[in-house]
Amino acid sequence: MLSEAVHNPDQYMSSLRTIIAGGRKRIGLLIGAGASAGMKKGDGTYPLIPAVAELTKRVIDSLKPSHGEELQKLIKEIAPRNDIETILSRVRTLSNVIGKAEVHGLNGEGYKTLGEKICERIAEIVDVGLPEHVSAYSEIATWITGAAREHPVEIFTTNYDLLLEEALERIRAPYFDGFTGGRDPFFDPVSISSNDLPARWTRLWKLHGSLGWRSNSRGEIVRSGTSSSSYLIFPEHLKYEQTQKAPYAALLDRLRSFLATPDTLLIATGFSFADAHISARIAEGISANPSAAVFAFQFRALQEETCAAELGSRLPNFSVYARDAAIINGVSGVWRVPTELPSRDWGAIRSSYWSKTSDDKPAEFTLGAIEALASFFAASRSTQVFLAKAQATAVDSQAKEDIK
């Protein structure tokens, strides 16, 4: 429940703008499935990649003709969790342990085949490219390379797609994802823990695996260099295949050690904080390090962001920025924008995070959407960018009025 406190978005966004415009702060980004779902396709429609719920539905629907009955029994068995990651983890577990015995009509070999088909469908759905026009990821890449940095930007993502890789490669921005080598790049946990590459190299940590990851003949995870690989691995599966522990254990430990470093800021977008294994490490990291902070930019109203709100209510250095309200320093309150601007040019800047999303709704905080947040980052060093966007919005609004 919201308290009677109010929060002024101008105050917090002014501070954030100052932080991200420079290159001194140690900054990390946590990017969830909602980010790719919040970006436009090349034709201007949404989403670029479906979020987990829609991804699960599309995979299950496509497999109904061949495995509909088995999948429905599995979904009932693992309820209330019925996302595609949990389903695949269960399928792989059965493929490894039941042998010739049958569960829900399939033996171990049958579940192995089902797991491969699930991976193939996931790969087909998430294997998309960035649109040619400016996108949220391309603006994030521009922001990363736009300053001489004392510390590398570290990106932690639960997404399997290769969109961030594409955005960085388009502008020739070097990055390190934990793999090294030429023919079959192998995972190197020592490089992750030592973190001794130059600061201009972005760190890209794929917490839930990635397209292009596969298992070699020794059971090790290697990066194939292609987007067609359908060998996707999920953290839950580590309970049953110890050979897969190295990538996930090292990557999740990197998240915790990042937050354990003094004076760090982790900015989250498109992430619900419903993944317990990730949220637990975040909570551990910032609980032990008061100088670290998490800014969670959430797409929905605060009362709908239950997992993020729970963390924000008990961790004073975990701030939640939702559409209608925020939790800052452990205090929840609605947004309230002052009548007067902090400076003459601030009106254009304010419109980048406080505006109407439709004519029939009041203005609200908009940085919970990945495209708005990425634009805010990319334009953090220039007022003129905001002014141009504000003018374009005004022209568009006037055109709508003329049509009416």
Q: What is the pLDDT of residues 300-309, one digit of tens each?
A: 999 999 999 9
Indicate whether 316 pLDDT > 50. Answer: yes
Residue 368 contacts by C-beta under 8 Å, 6 or more apart in sequence?
269, 297, 298, 299, 300, 321, 322, 323
Predicted confidence at residue 144, as pLDDT, reads 96
CA nearest to 270, candidates 89, 132, 136, 81:
136
The tens digit of pLDDT for each residue in 200-221 reads 999 999 998 899 888 888 878 8
Indicate whether 336 pLDDT > 80. Answer: yes
Which tokens sit at 32?
Answer: 């969830």
Residue 91 contacts by C-beta under 8 Å, 6 or more apart in sequence?
74, 111, 114, 115, 118
- Is the bond into 338 cis (omega within 30 degrees of 0)? no
- Can you tell me the mean pLDDT for 20-25? 92
Burial of 149 (0-12, 13-18, 19+ CB in 10 A): buried
Which tokens sit at 202?
Answer: 């972005």
Please name the amino acid found at residue 191. S
The tens digit of pLDDT for each residue in 126-151 reads 999 999 889 999 999 999 999 999 99
Q: What is residue 152's three-state secondary structure? A: coil
Q: What is 268-309 written as a DSSP string?
A: EES--S--HHHHHHHHHHHHS-TT-EEEEE-SS-GGG-HHHH
